[in-house]
Amino acid sequence: MLWHKTIGSGPDLVLLHGWGFSADIFESLVERYKAEYRITVVDLPGHGRSEDVTGGIGEWCNAIIPLLPKNATLLGSSLGGLLAIKIASMHSIKNLILVGASPSLTNHKHWQYGMDVEIFKRFAEDLQNNYAKTLKRFISLQTKNKNLMRSLFETIEKYPPSSNALAQGLSMLLETDFQQLFKSLNMPKYAILGELDKLVPRKTATWYETNGAQTTLLRTGHLPFLEEEFSLPDNV
């Protein structure tokens, strides 16, 4: 079973978090928009309060899809963005919003808008060796809001992901390339990226712009939705 919660009223909006976090990372975003949207947050498999799901990205998506309201806007952050692209190809959604997310996180022969594989592997090793310390250090680089930082630290300590889910997520981030899948999607697509993001470089915005996504660059890191300048697209 996957833990999920719905709050607010208005058009349906579903939020999918990134690797190592839980749905609680969206707490400030939910508070900000719950008067305008009916928001569903989901803990990914093996993250937060959710049980593990055996398999890869397809199986994770199959576990998430039954929780989606009809005609929802789907927002995915980081790993949640990869899941959102896949879900959008399997299930009818109204809009797709990718935040700090890329169709292929690491560079390879057919993709040069990502980060170096070795750099990512070092970050991943740090995360697996000392999950809480590494993620706390990462968050401290993403936001200057001390109260928010403290709240996120508490969440990390309260809901650590399973080692199995961390390994599954790492494999998805390293091996997934959804360039063609993203191009094939027909619903309105949006990309919101951080100029200072070390995981999804700002040059990724160029690819999104040339492949049908309304793209916004904010002066933030990998988690733009934590900052005040972040806003949802006007027409979703």
Q: pLDDT (tens digit, 9 = 90+) per residue, 171-209?
A: 899 899 999 999 999 999 999 999 988 889 999 999 999
Which residue has 């700090």 as its token pair? 100
Which entry of 12, 24, 43, 197 is annotated as an active-site residue? 197
Average pLDDT along the chain: 92
Percent of the chain at pLDDT > 90 equals 66
CB 69 within 8 A of CB 40: yes
Mean pLDDT of 197-222: 93
CB 52 within 8 A of CB 162: yes
Q: Is residue 177 annotated as part of the catalytic site, yes or no?
A: no
15, 78, 98, 141, 149 from 144: Cα distances, Å: 23, 20, 23, 8, 8
Residue 227, pLDDT score: 87
Secondary structure of residue 14 in the 3-state scheme: strand
* Better-predicted residue by pLDDT, 160 or 230: 230
CB 101 within 8 A of CB 194: no
Mean pLDDT of 49-70: 97
Residue 135, pLDDT score: 77
Map out the domains of the chain with their CATH numbers.
4-226 (3.40.50.1820)
Q: Is residue 197 annotated as part of the catalytic site, yes or no?
A: yes
Q: How far apart are CA 111 and CA 177, in angstroms?
A: 9
146: region left, alpha or beta (phi > 0 left; psi from -120 to 50 alpha): alpha
Q: Torsions phi, psi of 125, nearest 5?
A: -65, -45
CA terminus-to-terminus distance, the chain:
29
pLDDT tens-digit readout, 72-85: 999 999 999 999 99
Q: Is residue 108 annotated as part of the catalytic site, yes or no?
A: no
* Better-predicted residue by pLDDT, 139 or 43: 43
Residue 141, pLDDT score: 67
Q: pLDDT at residue 170 above 70?
A: yes
Which entry of 28, 78, 102, 104 is annotated as an active-site residue? 78
Q: pLDDT at residue 93 above 70?
A: yes
